[in-house]
Amino acid sequence: MAIGRIITGQSLSEQEESFNVSLRPKSLDECVGQANVREKLAIAIAAAKQRAEPLEHILFYGPPGLGKTTLANVVANEMGARIRCSSGPALVKAGDVMGLLSNIGTGDVLFIDEIHRLSTPVEEFIYPAMEEFKVDFTVDSGLHAKTINFPLKRFTLVGATTRAGLLSAPLRSRFGMLYHLDFYSAEELTTILARSAELLTLQCDPGTLELIAQCSRGTPRVANRLLKRVRDYAQVKGTGLLSTAIVESALKMEQIDPLGLDELDRAVLRALVNVYDGGPAGIEAIAATLGEERDTLEDVVEPYLLQIGFLRRTKRGREITKQACDHLGLKTHKNKSARDQPELFEQGKQ
């Protein structure tokens, strides 16, 4: 059975979506972190505005919850343009894209989330739209089939993906700007939380937002979600004030540890030790052991564990590191010769 988690970067409930939308920065100045990406975007936007031209196509890539959708909206706002949003899996046929493109105005932004999941026919249909701002649309079929050449307004395609590696080379090469989003520092997350707390009119004791930031896996979406959980907890169990004790208890209840790992992260690491002798193990095998989707492990769990040095990716699969064993209280195997090989069994189970 899949393990429920607060830190998933995917499938927001409607309530959470509206919570997030209200906290979403609207301008580049309101955005925190990603200084390099923001600077390059600011220059590209200023230059395009001076020339009174639409922006080039942009691809944002990186783990979920780091701000790809936010930046797409910010780009549209800064350009004073409208944005139309869709996602790779929703665009099944050329006709689905045609519906979007035929209504798009000059300079408007077309945002396609999960762009790596576009089908090949849709992808090929999009190439001339991106390059020459026209599409060849086939109506009818068989003997009556006709191809209509349909001119489009000059628009900006903003694509987002968690897997830039899965994008075909021809599609990737049609983006003028490709920006990788990195995990945020605890300081940046604290700033994001302070803004969110203010918008939600929360009262916080000093140090409490830092505590939440440290447990947020470098991800603004996780930070905002944790803040919401803590807010609920403070309201029901306390006076509404976010004190250190309340925040610690709320995080404990959510089974989030001081490094921001949750039950699923720990389950992956434990499975590696207990079932695969510390690894290497293939991601498919680990997913099957846990009854989880491979995509969830690859998109949400793995990037952070790699970032904090708890996992190693080798040609033969994923391996747990000594740091992870130490953090989880797994003993290293004294007799293993390989460098910093992890212990094969959990402490006490030997």
- Catalytic residue annotation: 68-69, 113, 162, 221
By the rule CB under 6 A, 220 interacts with ligand ADP: yes
By the rule CB under 6 A, 67 interacts with ligand ADP: yes
Stretch that binds ligand ADP, among 43-51, 66-74, 230-238, 261-269 (CB under 6 A): 66-74
Q: How far apart (Å, rounded) are the C-alpha atoms in residues 238 and 233?
A: 7
Is the Cβ–Cβ distance between 189 and 220 less than 8 Å? yes
By the rule CB under 6 A, 31 interacts with ligand ADP: yes
Among 7, 28, 32, 157, binds ligand ADP (CB under 6 A): 32
Residues across the chain: 350
Among 5, 68, 116, 228, binds ligand ADP (CB under 6 A): 68
Residues near 35 by Cβ (< 8 Å), separated by ≥ 6? Answer: none
Ordered alpha helix ranges (H), the chain: 14-23, 35-50, 68-79, 94-101, 120-132, 169-173, 186-199, 208-214, 220-237, 244-253, 263-274, 283-290, 294-296, 302-307, 322-328
Cβ at position 75, least distance to ligand ADP in Å: 12
Token pair of 59 as six digits: 């691809």
**x/- string (CB under 6 A) for ligand ADP, residues 170-199?**
----------------------x-------
Buried b (16+ CB within 10 A) or exposed e, 84-97: bbbebeebeebeeb
Among 8, 44, 61, 65, binds ligand ADP (CB under 6 A): 65
**x/- string (CB under 6 A) for ligand ADP, residues 317-346?**
------------------------------
In this structure, the dihedral spanned by the alpha carbons of residues 245, 248, 254 and 256, taken in order and rounded to 10 degrees, is: 180
Residues near 239 by Cβ (< 8 Å), separated by ≥ 6? Answer: none
- Nearest to ligand ADP of 66, 286 (CB atom): 66
**Spatial CA neighbour of 82 closest among 56, 108, 49, 100:** 108
Stretch that binds ligand ADP, among 32-40, 227-235, 274-282, 304-312 (CB under 6 A): 32-40
Cβ at position 160, least distance to ligand ADP in Å: 6
- Nearest to ligand ADP of 224, 341 (CB atom): 224
Stretch that binds ligand ADP, among 58-66, 124-132, 279-287, 306-314 (CB under 6 A): 58-66
Among 28, 41, 55, 66, binds ligand ADP (CB under 6 A): 66
By the rule CB under 6 A, 224 interacts with ligand ADP: yes
Give the neighbor-by-neighbor strand order of the sheet with 177-180. Answer: 83-87, 109-113, 156-161, 58-61, 177-180
By the rule CB under 6 A, 88 interacts with ligand ADP: no
Residues at the site binding ligand ADP, with contacts judged by CB under 6 A: 9, 20, 23-25, 31-34, 64-70, 160, 192, 220-221, 224
